[in-house]
Structure formats: structure tokens, C-alpha cells
Amino acid sequence: MKGLIGKKIGMTQVWDESGKFIPVTVIEVGPCTVIAHRTEERDGYSAVQLGYGIRKLSNVSKAVRNHIAAANYDDHAPMWIRELRTPANPDAEVGSQLLADVFATGEFVDVTGTMKGRGFQGVVKRYRFGGGRASHGGGWTRRPGSIGMCVNPGKVYKGRKMPGQMGNVKRTVQNLQVVQVRKDDNVILVKGSIPGPNGQCVVVRQAKKK
């Protein structure tokens, strides 16, 4: 299992050798610095901890500064820190950097990000309910309608689709093909769309189901 932390740049389009149009998402992946390792003997699981981005040292706590000290962070701190469950990799030493060439053209990846938050929404927008009639006395055009029942069992079942918070949840899109890898720009182009707004932190992993 291999992966990198990245940032969603936006969507564009490219063409393949046959002239076929391909919609792609541009993801800036790396350089990611290896901050720490998690081992079976010490932590009970195997993982690698990566840091990506730049922020001021004054904006992080002393605990974080001491944690990243071994990774050669002298004048700045990482913007995002993420752990990737992976077998022990002796090549990924603490302080080393991983670049976009971790992935290759034609590979399949899983991309995890946080959806755009849309606030408190009704059932028409949240679940695409049809709503009530718009004429002849219809007084519940965008309302959910009946949600319960009579005496037996006399309650509203859990999981009923009702108004509430929409978006702002973590989602993973699986099996996206890597169309291009641009090592000089630390950018990969994946076919299709990924969750989150532009500038959002995403985690790109090797696809589990391919």
C-alpha cells in the first residue's frame, strides 16, 4: 500500500493519443515528508506518518514542534499531517521526501477528501424529495410529509430521511485512473472528480479493489 497527501487544484481536460476527451482532476501531491513510523512492536500496527504543506512554526504547539523535529523541519511546520496504514518500508526514512513519481501513469488510486459543507438543508435539496402539489390548496410544497405512524408502534424509526446537516463529511472515491504524472510540478491528473472544494486536503492511496 502506497499513498501521498495532496491538495485539490481543480478540474480540467486532456486528450489521449486517439484524440479522446478525458475530464481530469489536478492534484498536487507532495513533496511529502516522512515524519514518523508506527510499528507492530511498539504501536500495535504498521503505518507511516506524512506531512505536507507549509505553515509557520509559531502557529503550532510545542508538542507538534518536538514531534516533527526529527523530520528536519527547521523554519516551518507541515500544514497537514496524516497517517497511512502500510507495511514497514525501510526506504521511507524519517526526514526523507516522497514525490509524485510514487504513482505511475495507468495506475488506479482511491482519493479521500471532505465534501463541501452545505449547511442545514431540507429534504428536497438533501434527498431530492418531490415535495407536495403546488396548486389547489397544497400547503406543504417542500415539506417531507408524514414521518410516523399511529398507535402501534407509535414512534419515528431511526434513519428516517429528514432535514439536517448536508455535506462536510469524509468521502472516498475509488478506482480513479492516473492519466498523467508530472514529477517536475509534483502533480498527478486522475480521471473523474473527487470530493471537496479546490484547495482541500486529500489523501491519495493505491486502489484497494484493483
The tens digit of pLDDT for each residue in 160-205 reads 999 999 999 999 999 999 999 999 999 999 999 999 999 999 999 9
Q: What is the pTM of this model?
A: 0.85
Cα 56 off chain centre by? 24
Q: Which of 49, 14, 192, 51 is nearest to 109 (CA)?
A: 192
Q: What is the amino acid identity at position 130?
A: G
- 91 and 132 share a domain? no
Q: Is 139 left (phi over 0), alpha (psi -120 to 50) or beta?
A: alpha
The tens digit of pLDDT for each residue in 42-59 reads 999 999 999 999 999 889
- 58 and 152 share a domain? no
| 154: confidence class by pLDDT, cuts 50, 70, 90 | confident
- 161 and 184 share a domain? no
- 95 and 152 share a domain? no
pLDDT of residue 89: 67
Question: How many other C-beta atoms can be found within 10 angstroms of the C-beta atom of residue 186?
Answer: 19
Give CA–CA dist 181/105, Å, rounded. 6
- 186 and 127 share a domain? no
The tens digit of pLDDT for each residue in 59-98 reads 999 999 998 988 888 888 999 999 998 877 666 788 888 9
Q: Mean pLDDT score of the chain, rounded to an integer?
A: 91
Please tell me the total count of domains within the chain: 2
- 103 and 47 share a domain? yes
Give CA–CA dist 179/6, Å, rounded. 16
- 100 and 18 share a domain? yes
pLDDT of residue 91: 66
Domain CATH for 85: 2.40.30.10
**To the nearest whole percent, how much of the chain has pLDDT over 70?**
98
pLDDT of residue 87: 78
CA R_g for the chain = 23
- 84 and 129 share a domain? no
- 56 and 144 share a domain? no
Question: How many other C-beta atoms can be found within 10 angstroms of the C-beta atom of residue 77?
Answer: 20
38, 49 in Cβ contact below 8 A? yes
Which structural domain range is residue 136 located in?
Answer: 118-166
- 13 and 25 share a domain? yes
Residue 123: which H helix or E strand, with range? Answer: helix 123-127
- 141 and 91 share a domain? no
pLDDT of residue 26: 97
- 32 and 94 share a domain? yes
